[in-house]
């Protein structure tokens, strides 16, 4: 099985090969056109020199596009400039009458359509459309007039750029989805292997400690509860989806919260991935851990907590609620006055850095609830 990196690298190779082949075929066509009109040009020798230059540039670009794993934007712009310059040479090769009659094509003729395909493969629909428009504009300029036939060429060039660009964009997206699927498959296989190993060793030992500790009672019962908590946490860690990120730096927030589930803490997440920036995912995971740590420290020995993740498209909402003893009015302000800035800095401060808001609702014997809202401009918008 190919690696995800190889899949992404090879995604556009068929399109690059097609653009190179198109350039070679159109070069042969242009040479045939010059041969057919050789005796009619004002500068036949210059026409053949131009064909020779086109051949050298075709060879140079073919080697570059087929051997490079990532094509530089500056080279495609240079390619566009060379093609437009070759079109301009036609004003020195053709007579004035030939320039004003479409039955005699410019020296490069359809050879310049290959650079439109190059722009589309490299930069998608926008690049293909712009390259097509530039070539069409030079076609107008070299001919020196505008008519229906030249406008038809404009439509064809822009249309080809748009369609090939659409194919390029679709290929990139398909390759990224395939790479993600391959990463998920590899991570799932590794997680299942670890799950079998852990189940046959660690989990069985923890289950035995919990059972025997409860039977003995006393301090052993306390150890049994700790063993039970770690057993549940370990099972949740093994069962959670793998932590991974996409090529554009996004990550699924769900597994970062699912691993926090225990027998006391329940985590509810959507069925579909909740994609946020990788740093945002890491920060939100830390914030929820901090909130649950506060439940452990302050809410009471038997307090339970519930974590809810919601994806609203343009923002992500994470709620952490517990049924503990709550917080008395003024307690947070008094703690901050004494220099204990855990809540204000660890939660509110971090959320503010993400451009979001953190709201705390609490009262004595009514538990607490944090609602964290963070904007997500690059997330799912269905």
- Give the model's pLDDT for residue 111: 95
pLDDT in tens, 91-127: 999 988 888 876 788 999 999 999 999 999 999 999 9
Q: Using an 8 Å Cβ cutoff, are 323 and 362 in contact?
A: no
For residue 265, the enclosing domain spans: 244-382
- Give the model's pLDDT for residue 201: 67
Mean pLDDT on 165-182: 82
- Give the model's pLDDT for residue 340: 53
Domain identity same for 170 and 253? no
More confident position, 94 or 325: 94
In a domain, 188, yes or no: no
In a domain, 94, yes or no: yes
In a domain, 68, yes or no: yes
**How many domains does the chain contain in total?**
2
Mean pLDDT on 363-379: 81
* pLDDT at residue 382 greater than cutoff 50: no
CATH, residue 320: 3.30.565.10
Q: Return the percentage of the chain with pLDDT > 70, whole number.
A: 80
Domain stops at, among 118, 145, 177: 177
In a domain, 345, yes or no: yes
- Give the model's pLDDT for residue 47: 93
Domain identity same for 116 and 261? no
* pLDDT at residue 368 greater than cutoff 50: yes
Would you call 318 helix, strand, or coil by DSSP?
strand
- Give the model's pLDDT for residue 1: 46
What is the pLDDT of the chain when averaged over all its residues? 82
- Give the model's pLDDT for residue 4: 46
Residue 345 DSSP code: I
Give the largest Cα separation in the chain, rounded: 109
Domain identity same for 25 and 172? yes
Confidence of residue 186 (pLDDT cuts 50, 70, 90): confident
First to last CA, the chain: 31
In a domain, 140, yes or no: yes
- Give the model's pLDDT for residue 229: 67
pLDDT in tens, 307-316: 999 998 888 9
Q: Using an 8 Å Cβ cutoff, are 245 and 278 in contact?
A: yes
* H or E, element range at 375: strand 368-375
Q: Helices 44-67 and 73-93: crossing angle, nearest 10°?
A: 170
pLDDT in tens, 237-265: 655 555 555 556 688 888 888 878 877 88
- Give the model's pLDDT for residue 381: 45
pLDDT in tens, 205-235: 777 777 777 777 777 777 777 776 666 666 6
Residue 342 DSSP code: I
In a domain, 83, yes or no: yes
* Whole-structure pTM value: 0.56
Q: How many residues does the chain have?
A: 382
């Amino acid at each position: 099985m190919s690696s995800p990196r190889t899949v992404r690298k090879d995604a556009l190779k068929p399109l690059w090969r097609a653009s190179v082949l198109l350039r070679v075929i159109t070069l042969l066509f242009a040479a045939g056109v010059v041969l057919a009109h050789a005796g009619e040009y004002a500068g036949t020798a210059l026409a053949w020199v131009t064909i020779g230059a086109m051949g050298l540039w075709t060879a140079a670009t073919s080697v570059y596009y087929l051997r490079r794993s990532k094509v530089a934007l500056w080279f495609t712009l240079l390619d566009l400039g060379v093609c437009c310059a070759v079109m301009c040479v036609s004003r020195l090769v053709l007579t004035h009458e030939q320039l004003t009659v479409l039955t005699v094509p410019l020296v490069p003729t359809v050879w310049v359509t290959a650079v439109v395909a190059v722009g589309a493969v490299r930069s998608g629909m926008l690049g293909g459309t712009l390259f097509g428009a530039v070539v069409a504009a030079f076609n107008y300029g070299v001919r020196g007039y505008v008519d229906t036939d030249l406008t038809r060429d404009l439509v064809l060039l822009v249309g080809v750029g748009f369609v090939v660009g659409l194919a390029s964009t679709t290929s990139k997206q398909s390759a990224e989805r395939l790479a993600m699927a391959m990463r998920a498959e590899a991570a799932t296989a590794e997680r299942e292997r670890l799950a079998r190993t852990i189940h046959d060793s660690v989990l069985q030992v923890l289950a035995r400690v919990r059972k025997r500790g409860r039977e003995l009672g006393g301090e052993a019962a306390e150890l049994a509860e700790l063993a039970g908590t770690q057993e549940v946490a370990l099972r949740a860690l093994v069962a959670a989806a793998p932590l991974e990120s996409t090529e554009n730096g996004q990550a699924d927030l769900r597994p970062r919260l699912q691993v926090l589930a225990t027998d006391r803490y329940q985590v509810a997440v959507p069925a579909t991935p909740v994609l946020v920036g990788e740093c945002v995912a890491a920060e939100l995971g830390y914030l929820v851990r901090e909130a649950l740590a506060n439940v452990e420290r302050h809410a009471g020995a038997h307090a339970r907590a519930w974590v809810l993740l919601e994806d609203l498209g343009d923002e992500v909402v994470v709620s952490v609620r517990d049924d503990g003893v709550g917080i008395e009015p003024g307690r947070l302000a008094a703690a901050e006055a004494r220099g204990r800035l855990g809540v204000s800095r660890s939660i509110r401060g971090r959320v503010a850095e993400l451009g979001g808001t953190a709201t705390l609702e609490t009262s004595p014997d009514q538990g607490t609830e944090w609602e964290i809202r963070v904007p997500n401009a690059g997330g799912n918008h269905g």
